[in-house]
Amino acid sequence: MYILIIGCGRTGSYLANLLSKEEENVVVIDKDATSFEELSAEFTGFTVEGDATEIEVLKDAKLAKADSVVVTTDDDNVNAMIAQIASELYQVPKVLVRVLDSQKEVIYKELDVITMTPTSLLVDKFKDEIVRSV
């Protein structure tokens, strides 16, 4: 599988390291080359320094070949733009997006993408634990 991760912060680097360890083909894009320091010494994938909202950067990362794209930048508007490019222009089979502001989740309703909102996931988990302990 060819997986493209956009954003190499805590979430993106953790996922990239995990997938690399499982011997998946992983490419990580980030605007800041120092972000790649978060990747482990065992990381076997590739890195692309650049702005993923630019088509040339996405072409360099071979977006057209991707089986999955995971967008984890800290900017919901950037994430929405990249998700739309991956889903609609490149027809990537699976696009997953981190949405920081749960109110912005509505932006993705028309797109064929999977959204993950950390706050909602955490609240759901807390609620499940509370209900289970009663």
At 117, give phi and psi (nearest 5°).
-110, 110
Read off the amino acid at residue 97: V
This prediction has a pTM of 0.91
Could you give the domains of the chain? 2-133 (3.40.50.720)
Alpha helices in 1-134 (DSSP H): 10-21, 55-60, 76-84, 118-133
Terminal-residue alpha carbon distance, the chain? 42
Q: Enumerate residues 6+ apart whose C-beta is below 8 A from 83.
A: 69, 71, 95, 97, 108, 111, 113
Give tens-digit pLDDT for 95-122. Answer: 999 999 888 877 777 788 999 888 888 8
- Percent with pLDDT over 70 in the chain: 99
